[in-house]
Structure 1
C-alpha cells in the first residue's frame, strides 16, 4: 500500500507494476487484494487515485476562470491521462462531478484560527 501511495500519480502504473513492487505474481496480488481488502488491484488503484483527487479538489483555490484547468491538472496529478475519463469515474464514485466538489470547497470558509492562550499570570 505504501508503494501505491507513493506512485498513484504515475499514469503508467497498473496491476503488473504493483505486483512487481510487492514481489508477487499478478495472480497472487489479485488473491491478496480479494482476501484482505475485498477488492481487485485495479479497483484499489482507482480508489486511491480518486481519494487523492478529492483531497486535492477540496484543498484547491483556483480563480474563477481556471476551474477547468484545475480539474485537468488534478486529474493528471493523480494518474489520469483523460480528464473526461477522470470526470466519469469521479462522478460514478462520489455521485457528484469534480467541478461540484471544487465549487463547494471554494464556497466553504476555513475555520477560525485558535485563540491565543491567556497570558501566564506570573
Structure 2
C-alpha cells in the first residue's frame, strides 16, 4: 500500500511540474508575442524544445519521488499528460490528434521514460 502511495505521489508531482513549466512557458511566449513584433512561427522550435524539457523534468521528478521502476513511472506520467491534452483538445475544440501530434506525444513518452529512469538513479537507494 505504501508503495502505491509513493508511486501516485511521484506521478502527481511529475505532472504538476510539467504543467507548471508549460504554463510559465506559455505565459512568457505570449508576453513576448504581445510586446514585440515577433511572429508565432519564430517560436515553434523553442516551444517544442521547452516542451521536451518540461516532460524530461517531469519524468525526473516522478521517477525520483517513486524511487523505483522509473521507466514505468515516466511512461504513466507521459500517458496521463497526453491523455489530458487529448481530452482538452477533443472536448474543447472537437479535434483529434494529427499525425504530427502523435509523433510529438510518442517522443514525449520516450523522453519522459528516460527522465524517470534518470530520476530513480539520481535519488539513489
- TM-score norm. by structure 2 comes to 0.42
TM-score, length of structure 1 as denominator length: 0.43
Q: In terms of Rg, which structure is larger?
A: 1
Higher relative contact order (CA 8 A, sep 6+): 2
